[in-house]
Each structure stands twice: as C-alpha cells, then as structure tokens.
Amino acid sequence: MKKIVSYATLCAAIFASTLTISLPTQAAIPVGKDGIPTLAPMLEKTSPAVVSISVEGKHKIRQRVPDLFRYFYGPNAPREQVQEQPFRGLGSGVIIDAEEGYIVTNAHVVENADEILVSMGDGRELEAKKIGEDKGSDIALLQVEPENLVDVKLANSDNIRVGDFVVAIGNPFGIGKTVTSGIVSALGRSTNMGINAYEDYIQTDAAINRGNSGGALVNLKGELVGINTAIVGPNGGNVGIGFAIPANMMKSLVDQIIKYGEVRRGLLGITGQNVDSGLAKAMGLEVNQGAFVREVAEDSAASKGGILPGDIIVEINGKKIESFNELRAKIGSLGAGAEVELGLIRDGEQETVDVTLEDFTARNIVAKDIHPALEGATLADGVTENDESGVEITELARRSNADRLGLQEGDIIVGVNRKRINNVSDLRRMLDAEDKGVIALNVKRGRSSLYLVIR
C-alpha cells in the first residue's frame, strides 16, 4: 500500500533537498542544529539595522475665505484660513550608514513631522532630524547620533530577478519588528495609481502592511534590495501585492540629498509613451516593449545626444526597460549631470547614444510642489530685463491660487521676505524656512517692482 504524503511534507522535502544549491544572486539557505532550514542567522545580523519610527506634527488645513466675508473686510482680508490639526504616525526605517547615523525611510512617513523618534532594537529611543526628502519618489533621509549602530549592506538591485527570494522587515501596525518572506513577483513595476510621481518598483508577495513603510526588503544574504513603500489592498491590508523602491534608485537619491540638501533630478527632455502592440502595429515596429519617443525638446539633453522623434528606447546603461514609465523613473532618479548610455531602435536598427542629463530643477517646476499658495503656476529659472536672476512664472492657470495671489505670466520672483533668491532651488528652500509666517514675495514685472503677500 502506497503511503500518502501531504503537500506540505512534500514541499519541505523538496526544499530541504536543495539546500546546498546556491541560486544566482541568492545565498544558500543555512540549516539549523536540528536540520531544519532557517533564516535566523541572517536575520540576527540584519534586523538591528531596521528601526521603528514614530512622528508627531500638525497637518495644515487650508480653507478659502468666502467672497461674502471678503466683501465686508475689504481688499486686505485674507484669501484663506489655515488651521492646524495635530497627528501622530508610525513607520519603519533602515540604517544605511552607521558611522554617519543615516537612516532611510519613506517621505510620507515623516511628512509634516515636528518630532521624529527612532526606536532601536536594543530599546533605545533617539531623536532624528530630517536631512532631506524627495516626495516624487517617496524617499527621506534622517540622521541620528551615530552611537552603537548597525547598518545594512546594499545589494545591486539591478541584479535581482523575478523569482528571487526576499524578506520584508518592518513595524506593521506598530506591533513591533516583524519579518515576512516571499519572492520578487515583478520588476520595473508602475502602479498606474498615482501613488508616487516616479515609480520603478520591485513587486513582492512578502507581506507588507501599514507601518512597514520605509522598512527593508532584503535578499537571503541580508543585503538591502529595496525600501518597502506601498501596497495594493482593498481594505488597507496585505493581499500579496507589495512594492519596494529599488536600492540603487534609493542610493542615487540619497547621495544627492547628502551632497546638495535636495534631489537634483536628471532631465532627458523628451515626451513619449509606452510601446504596446497597438502602437507597434500602427508604426510598423518590430518590438512590443520600450519607450516610444514622441517629441524631443529643443536644446535638451536628448537633442544634444542625438535622440530623434520615433526612436524607441529599450535600454539604460545596458539594462533593458519595458516602458516609458520605467524610463522616466530611472532617468528621474539619476542626478543632473549624470552620463547615461541609452540603447534604442531606429528604423529597425539597434543603436546606442550617450547623453548627459540636465537639471530638472532648472526647467519648469510645478509650483504647488513648493507651496500651496503658488498652485497653478509653472516656474523656471529666469532673468529680469536688467539681467537679475530669479524665478520666472512661465505659465499660469486662471482662477488658481497663484492667479488669485496676483501673479502674472512673465513675472520674476527675486526675493522672499527681503532675502534675495536666484533660482527655483533658492525659492524652495526659502519658502520651507518661512512657511509658518507671513511671506512677502518681491516680484519684478517688466520695469516695475512689487510685493505680493502670502498669509
């Protein structure tokens, strides 16, 4: 009579029989004293680098003052009321540099935080300061006193493959450090849900829940392959679809924050769309994946590098890409001035071009990302008629906050609260510093000079 073996027993037997095989980019799974496979040794070394983060702050709630009240109080009446609502939040973080005390987390974890506390695995609580953030990719860099810290080694996330085993470590729902495991389900993933502006995610079925944000996704060697950032779940819980920011993308952004205090995003200077079967058929293309170049901006990095409308970009620095969204995210995470080799298909032939990325912040910036009162304006570095450097209003939406403030297209902002500014980066930094009070913008309009007040 044949012995019936359960599915779980069969899987365990197959798993145990392959323990000595070292998979590409992965470590062989060690066996404990009792002969059972275990990840405990790896986690004992890696877990101390993953921390819990608690924040306190105040959300600003802006409400437009009705025109009726403005009629009674005159033209100097405030255009909006601002109320502050206290909040508390929880998340996770990863120590990436023990000597400097650098910790990476998600930008949304520490957004509007006035106080940031980091809880270590040994019970210590350390105050952290925010060095910088990039909301477009949801990365923030914190720093604590570098005393008795353990950091995690970074993996080359370009080398991971679909099917690689990964482990997620974080603080879900504030219950404490938790470990879950799974595999890499997909690469170069965009959610198409507008979670972040730049999405080039690692997708995994390792359980990720609220509070895991900013935590670590590691391989079986204990190396950091990604920063957990988002989930798709109808009720906010895990359904096996989680997303992590690749370690290489995170490192590029963090290096820029450390060097400049902000992310100086690279700019290629093209518009386009994903290549799909419909576009391929209409254009007579021989590929069904890649980034189709619809338009190349004049004097842009793409133009100078020789990219033409109709090209299909299929590689970045020798690594294949599948979509325009993936191209945009990868280019956006590289810093201004980065030299990039792009593989493309032109007239059915494979070619490579070298481009040097421009500075995105020197081009048009959506002003609402800098201050809500400037919503509706598009900004760029500019000069006045007297060759005075400042920030130009290149576009302005009617009936927007910036329009109601009194700004006009062609205006050049040259100062904030009587302090000189020369470019968009100066304006962003100054408004961040002055956000809690009345802000007076010194504006040059043709040969005239005026002040506009943000309350």
Residues identified as active-site:
108, 138, 213
Three-state SS string over the chain comes to: CCCCCCHHHHHHHHHHHCCCCCCCCCCCCCECCCCCECCHHHHHHHHHHEEEEEEEEEEEEEEECCHHHHHHHCCCCCCEEEEEEEEEEEEEEEEEECCCCEEEECCCCCCCEEEEEEECCCCCEEECEEEEEECCCCEEEEECCCCCCCCCCECCHHHCCCCCEEEEEECHHHCCCEEEEEEEEEEEECCCCCCCCCCCEEEECCCCCCCCCCCEEECCCCCEEEEEEEECCCCCCCCCCEEEEEHHHHHHHHHHHHHHCCCCEEECCEEEEECCHHHHHHHCCCCCCCEEEEEECCCCHHHHHCCCCCCEEEEECCEECCCHHHHHHHHHHCECCCEEEEEEEECCEEEEEEEECEEHHHCCEEHHHCCHHHCCEEEEEEECCCCCEEEEEEEECCCCHHHHHCCCCCCEEEEECCEECCCHHHHHHHHHHCCCCCEEEEEEECCEEEEEEEC
